[in-house]
């Protein structure tokens, strides 16, 4: 039952989906570039201390990011993650493979910035409460074996910059699923579910 829009519940009906992320809450084991991670650092939208803290290093003129290889073979995806500022107010989601598509998000104000690469079919940011936002991009025309990534940005239009060594964001609940929209969060712990 979904109580989102009123005190009167409605049925939340969704198609069966698979979260291709092997570890949706633990971001270690992926290709990490120009940053460090601290797991179980902050309180997530779930209400427990299982959010990951990303901290940029001091590299200049580069992207601070995490890339994830997936076994998916579809061409249309919804890529989403919950994010909260921690010294860095901007982050981006991107899917590489064929024509890469992505977008920058202002996670301090809940707004959408510039595209990263090609323009996604749709971009959404949803207030999840307590300073968290669920950021989502919808992409299609992606080649087999897509590579979703999450990165930090220093403005609504720039994701290559010099890091300060202390700023970053909190992340939780990464979900990469075949389809034209995101479904409810599907947690994974070591394998896709």
Task: Read off the pLDDT of residues 39-97 as tens digits, 9 standing for 90 and up.
Answer: 999 999 999 999 999 999 999 988 999 998 776 677 788 999 999 999 999 999 999 87
Query: What distance in Å separates the CA atoms of residue 35 and residue 41, rounded to the nearest whole number?
Result: 15
pLDDT-based confidence at residue 155 (cuts at 50, 70, 90): very high
CB atoms within 10 A of CB 8: 7
Determine the pLDDT at residue 71: 66
Tokens of 147: 């590579």
**pLDDT 10s digits, 87-133:** 999 999 999 876 789 999 999 999 999 999 888 999 999 999 999 99
Mean pLDDT, the chain, whole residue set: 89
Tokens of 134: 């669920």
Mean pLDDT across the stretch 156-163? 93
Please, what is the end-to-end C-alpha distance for the chain in angstroms?
Answer: 22
Q: Give, as one character, the DSSP assignment of residue 1.
A: -
From 70, 66, 63, 62, select the one nearest 54 (Cα to Cα): 66
């Amino acid at each position: 039952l979904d109580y989102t829009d009123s005190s009167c519940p409605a049925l939340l009906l969704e198609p069966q989906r698979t979260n291709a992320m092997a570890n949706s809450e633990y971001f270690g084991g992926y290709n990490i570039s120009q940053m460090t991670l601290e797991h179980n650092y902050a309180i997530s939208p779930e209400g427990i201390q299982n959010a990951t803290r990303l901290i940029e290093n001091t590299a200049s003129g580069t992207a601070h990011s995490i890339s994830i290889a997936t076994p998916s073979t579809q061409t249309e995806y919804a890529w989403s993650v919950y994010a909260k500022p921690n010294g860095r107010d901007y982050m981006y989601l991107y899917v590489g493979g064929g024509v890469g598509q992505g977008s920058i998000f202002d996670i301090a104000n809940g707004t959408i910035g510039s595209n990263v690469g090609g323009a996604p079919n749709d971009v959404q940011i949803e207030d999840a409460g307590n300073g968290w936002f669920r950021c989502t991009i919808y992409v299609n025309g992606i080649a087999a074996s897509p590579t979703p990534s999450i990165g930090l940005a220093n403005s609504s239009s720039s994701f290559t910059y010099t890091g300060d060594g202390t700023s970053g964001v909190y992340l939780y609940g990464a979900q990469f699923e075949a389809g034209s929209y995101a479904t409810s969060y599907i947690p994974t712990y070591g394998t896709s579910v």
